[in-house]
Structure 1
Amino acid sequence: MLIRVSGYNTGAQEYLEKGNKSGREFTRDELDHRLIIEGQLSLTRAIYESIPDYGQDRYLTFTLSFKEDTVSPELLKSITTDFKNFFMHAYKPEEFNLYAEAHLPKMKTVTDRKTGEVIDRKPHIHIIIPRINLLSGNEANPVDVYRNHEKYFEAFQEHINQKYGLSSPRENVRADITDAASVLSRYKGDDFYGKNRQFKQDLVKQVIERGVTTRADFYALVAEHGETRIRNQGKDTEYISVKLPGDAKGTNLKDTIFQDDFIVRRELKKPPLEASVSAQATPPRSKVIEGTLIEHGEAPYQHKDTNQLSYFVTLKPEGGKPRTVWGVGLEEAMTDANLKQGDQVRLEDLGTWPVVVQVIAEDGTTSDKTVNRRAWSAQPVAPEREVAETTPKGQAIAAGTPELSSPDEEDGMSMD
């Protein structure tokens, strides 16, 4: 299962019901059986169209696509429930609207009118969430805190794939295995472990250009670059290490791309997510503090001069004493919310999440390390009168809405 995230201004109902898409000759009824999983599409449309239109994205779309030819309705519903519990855990049920429907292909293949390519169509789920807090009337964006941290999405994605035994895009990376640039564009630098990434990328190019397809030939190729040692010889975890000229220690070639899947069988797979990332697939219970914003900024931790700099926010709850919270993630939350002193603020602790930081080794090389950091959400709190005036009401009448484009398909996982 693969998750894609996007946002649009309008047009969701037309796309889901009619199949409106540039260059498409078939209608939704011809293409798919529609399975309504949760919500009412007309209500969701009324809500996102109640948001003032400045040409911005007024709702989020999530497409959950499968490589499997058939997925049962019960499983589709279970996955949608898991999705909602994960991505909307920071919101109360009455604060958001969510609509979900699955498309079960009647037509198993279609021909691309531009390229002539035959495209396999698979089951997939569409989820629509208007970008508005239904209680306060303020903007709501449940993916905002994660937007620079793709691994959070992938943690949930892989959790679901493992939980239900579904095919993972990490096991099915699409690339032209005869073209080094295509392979490396899919197997990004961040996927290489440890040091000497450039050497590893160059080695991949040599494997492809020389047509190396046996482990013996691969070991011989590596030996051209320095002194080698075989680690865990004869075991499933066997790999080769090479000491490059000028290096004090060897470089371990343990990366997935240097294993038999790619070297021998030319199957490109990405390394599994770190355990610390996968462990975050079940979000922690959040904590909320509301009050008047007194102060925020960077200062020595707990205002002690001997401590390292950290970010803090001080709020004064109604009828209570000021409370100060500390954390690196607060700065991003406060910057995104554009809050000022005196504002009524809702500060939410979203729990700890893994982030990837760069670590500089003694030899000057850098490597990625996953550490846990606390994430926060900061939003203005509207007065009760303003809430009453801004909460979406009634039904909207839609007309002239544009077509939606769809994300790229990946490896047989249908996205439309």
Structure 2
Amino acid sequence: MVIVVNDSALGDVRELSDFELDLAFGSDENALSLECDAAYAPEEGQFVFIDGTEYGGVVDQTSYEAGREASGSILCKGRTWHGILAGKRLLPDSGSGYLSVSGKAGDALAALIERMGLSELFSAASDDTSVSYTFDRFVDGYSGLKAMAKANGRKVAMRRKGGKVEISLPPVVDYANKVDSDLLDFTLTSVHRCVNHLVCAGTGELENRAVIHFYADAAGNVSHTQSLFGVDEISALYDYSNADADKLEEEGKKKLKEYQTKGSVEVEAHDDIDVDVGDVISARDNAHGRTVTATVAKKIVKVSRGVATYSYEVGSETTTKTSSSGNAEGNGGHAYLAGKGLTLEGYTFNADVDAESLAAVEAKADKAAKAAGDLAKDSVGEVAAAYPVTAARDGRRVTVGVACCTQADANSWFS
């Protein structure tokens, strides 16, 4: 394998054969690092890629050692193609609540690439298959494409081809019966019970809040009927504070389905297997008669001396996206409900205080001032004195004196 250094203005400028490449993409990271001789290293802003593959991206920073002990190499870091897409947001049109696409897959991809302003770098593969999808608000470009692909039984694939990175949506490949487990080193985890009772809380306050319960049975089927009780019941809260009952019905069921799993598997593949993010692989343990099937969520590629090795993370994906669709408690962001006078535009809260609200604040301030005065007044109790001592109070101040008397009286009182 050789790596190509490309400049957006000059085109391909050189090829490198002696390098160390490490990149990861999928559920997170979406980043690359490249170490090579300083004399041939790419500059910040240039692209690096292995032609005909998914492996490449843009160089954002470089670092090197100076002095007598310097190695003479430079470490370049940047974003993979996936990371470039993740740095964009798929926002709805002005006046629209959500962004939706429908039609031929190739046309939908081309429109989304153009919307993100990346038409000079990416292209869409021709595909007449019909797709349709409504994106979460403010979703990043890469997460949005993956979600659209998954909803239509597909995956996101990229290849450097014809001077651009071609994005396509090929069908997901199920390797469950195509890959020998001898090609995989794996750690298998079997799950007996997962979350099976989801309390979905929507709009409203206290007893007026919209609440819906969803349950999953032992086979993972989701409904409103509970079948697991006692120690077998595991519940969680889905806090979606700006959802009405209809939205809770839709999203709550979807969320509980995501919890249903029979296990997980950590996989490291040998050189003989190369699969894509979104594909399905399985790990089989013949000694214990167990098999776990999972979706590839992240791919890690390392190239050293021209030889590539692959490893994978599979199972539930993790994400940095922020979405208005809410999240289960303890699993990411929170859905926000604006109160009176509060609006949320993009990522900014704005507060408008009207005359009624201001008057209420003033009334509370007056009440607090009066309470403070009463407290001060009452901090000294009644004052009494016996002749010939006199005492008088003025607010919190007490004055003590001695009544008129003869010198003989004074001498007798204080003797």
* Alignment TM class, shorter chain as reference: under 0.3
Report the TM-score when normalising by structure 1.
0.23
Which of these two proteins has the greater Rg computed from alpha carbons?
A: 2
Bigger fraction of residues in helix: 1
Q: Which has the higher contact order (CA 8 A, sep 6+)?
A: 1
Bigger fraction of residues in strand: 2
